[in-house]
Amino acid sequence: MAAQRLRMKQLRNILRLRHELGLTHRQIVRSTGIGLGTVSEYLARAKGAGLSWPIPDDLDDTALEGRLYPPSTTADPPRPPLDLPFIHKELKRTGVTLQLLWSEYAENQPGGYRYSQFCEHYRRFAGRLHPSMRQTHKAGEKVFVDFSGKRPEIVDPTTGEVFPVELFVGVLGASSYFYAEATLSQELPHWIGAHIRMLEWFGFCPAVYVPDNLKSGVTTVCRYEPGVNRTYEDFAHHYGGVVIPARAGKPKDKAKVEAAVLLAQRWIMAALRNRTFFSLAELNAAIRALLPILNARLMQRLKVSRREMFETLDRPAMKPLPLNRYEIAEWKPVTVSIDYHVHVDNNFYSVPYQLMKEKVEARVTTTTVELLFKSRRVASHRRLSGHGHYATEPEHMPHAHRAHAEWTPSRLIDWAKKSGPAVGAVVSEILHSRPHPEQGYRACLGIMRLGNKYGPERLEAACQRARRLSAASYKTVKNILAAGVDRLPLFEEATQPTPRHENIRGADYYDKETPC
């Protein structure tokens, strides 16, 4: 109505300016600001309808518009209806466009809508959808993941204490197929574990994982180059995908999962609100029982279920699961020591000796330790338990070290005793003073070379003096020999009694009571 009133007001003004004031078309344009084409059309229609100025008083806006725009004598036949939900679903398929869908529609319906009208009807339909459904997500492409802000609860059966747990939610972009489970926390192992079980629930792998900017998934929040957690990136690579976090401050990027979280709160948490759970497994069993029901519900706008959309859209476009389940790995930056070993969780693992003092990455699982240099694996070891143990591959050792690789603690001690009992004792003390005997091998081999240089007699004397000083080490023995102190006689303990003197009070003095 407002548009009609505006048009008729413009018409009345144009007729007045033309017939009463005698203005030209261009003068009317400058006076009213209305386009020249519109002015010409209004005047032509008024002339064709026999209207001049003044307009008769009995012509209101509706009657006036009816005179200017009379109804067509030949009504157009009704257009065949558009299946707009079908069009919206088909657009999710790879390579499908509105142009293609219109050409198929026009082929089957020659009297149907033209392309521009076809597109306009679809855009109006899409504009009425929920924001998370307006985006055109390609089949099998994205899965959106997040934790719910509202959390379910578990009761400790022994103490009765109630403590909250996390609710993980995942939803596929094209079909809105839905997954949820409870986890103990948002920490990395639980985050990755929930992803693994989600993919096993789907039975297939998407191409892109879209998390919010939580710490378990994203290490650096940035709109253009977000830093993805190394373990999360490794997980995605194992399943043939990539992680692309939602942009910070862009809620439309994660509208799909926000809607899924709301769905989980309404149809899972609300449905289970009157039940008490005493374990995480019990809670997840109840959630798993609700998932098929939720995915079978018809979506209000599209009149189709998430399960049906998954079977027709996402499932055919997704990749199969790999043969092996992902084993959660922790990534740690480490530096190669001068003994070509790296320190990982209180144990030591070898790499090729050429990498001494280089920085490498350690990929640590429950069973293995892999070491990578510039993204290339250079070593792999079985993970050691305990503290201070060494895992050394012979091919990682320099050639000079390999010659001694067959030495054992007993063999070193037996060799040392051939030079003298003090040498054997020093070597034994060195080996037993280390957390692991191999850590003392270098020192023992160094003492062997000192014997070759100074002779067994001097080495024995130096070891005797080192033991008397309670300093059994390669460095002490080397310094004694270098200074020639091994040739000096050892000081014997004094056996003479303490001489008597008036200034030496003796032990009895302190037994006397001191007067107050």
Tens of pLDDT, residue by residue over 379-421, are 999 999 888 788 888 888 776 655 555 566 777 787 788 888 8
For residues 156 and 76, the model is more confident at 156
pLDDT of 163 over the 60 cut: yes
Nearest by Cα to 438 from 390, 399, 386: 390
185 and 228 co-located in one domain: yes
- Residue 370 lies inside a defined structural domain of this protein: yes
Say how far apart CA 392 and CA 223 lie, in whole Å.
Answer: 44
d(CA 410, CA 467): 20
The answer to whether the beta carbons of residues 463 and 448 sit under 8 Å apart is no
* 398 shares its domain with 446: no
Average pLDDT over residues 494-510: 55
147 shares a domain with 203? yes
Q: Kindly indicate the confidence band of residue 320, based on its pLDDT and cuts at 50, 70 and 90.
A: very high
Are 280 and 184 in contact by the 8 Å Cβ rule? The answer is yes
User: What is the longest distance spanned by two Cα atoms in the chain?
Assistant: 152
Residue matched to tokens 């998934």: 217
Between the alpha carbon of residue 349 and those of residues 361, 384, 393, 396, 439, the distances in Å are 12, 9, 9, 10, 13
Which stretch of DSSP H or E encloses residue 32? helix 25-32
Q: Among residues 262, 297, 320, which one ends one of the domains?
A: 320
Q: Rg of the chain over CA atoms, in angstroms?
A: 44
**354 and 429 belong to one structural domain:** no
Residue 41 belongs to a domain: yes
Residue 271: both structure tokens together: 């449905």
Report, in this order, helix, strand and coil percent for the chain, each rounded to 5: 45, 15, 40
The answer on 437 and 354 residing in a single domain is: no
Q: Is the pLDDT of residue 289 over 60?
A: yes
Give pLDDT tens digits for 30-56. Answer: 777 788 888 888 888 888 878 777 877
Tell me, yes or no, whether 210 and 91 share the same domain: no
Task: Record the pTM.
Answer: 0.53
